[in-house]
Amino acid sequence: MSLQYEVEVRNAGLDAKFAAIGASPVLKIRSGAAPASCADADAGDVLATLNLPAVWMGSASGGAISKSGLWETLAADQSGTAGHFRIEDSGGDCRLQGTVGESAADMIVTSVDIVAGQSVLVIGFTIRDNNG
């Protein structure tokens, strides 16, 4: 049997992870596949840079936590197909990465086909603690 945590414990863990990243991180949507870990060098081109709100994640509830506020840039950095994202802390260190897509991805955007100068909007980002 695997370990199982009560919902309050799962919520506390999620809240602590995002508190550790800090307020107002930077989201970079990049082309191609993500590196093996956040410790690895950046991969792909930066297609869009979004300065996230000071309170960028809501409070965890039911073992899940979702984005808070508007995650949008009005002008993409360059054209390409989004494949992954990295969220960096105020020091520029990667603290979280995952896939980007229009569905069935870690982060959901309105379109993965990004054109330089266009608006880029994140419409979904939820992380669940799967209890074990």
Residues 45-82 have pLDDT tens digits of: 999 999 999 999 999 999 999 999 999 999 999 999 99
* pLDDT at site 131: 73
d(Cα 85, Cα 31) in Å, to the nearest integer?
A: 8
* pLDDT at site 3: 86
Nearest residue to 105 (alpha-carbon basis) of 85, 81, 79, 76: 85
Q: State percent of the chain over pLDDT 90.
A: 93
pTM reported for the whole predicted model = 0.94
Radius of gyration of the chain (CA): 15
The ranges assigned to domains in the chain are 7-128
88-94 LR contacts (CB < 8 Å, sep 24+): 88/25, 88/26, 88/27, 88/28, 89/21, 89/22, 89/25, 90/22, 90/24, 90/25, 92/26, 93/38, 94/38, 94/39, 94/42
Structure tokens at 96: 């979280």
Q: Does the pLDDT of residue 1 top 70, yes or no?
A: no
Residue 45: φ, ψ to 5° = -95, 145
Q: How confident is the model at residue 91 (pLDDT cuts 50, 70, 90)?
A: very high
d(Cα 38, Cα 83) in Å, to the nearest integer?
A: 15
Q: Coil, strand, or helix at residue 13?
A: helix
Average pLDDT score over residue span 98-108: 97
Residue 51 C-alpha from the chain's centroid: 12
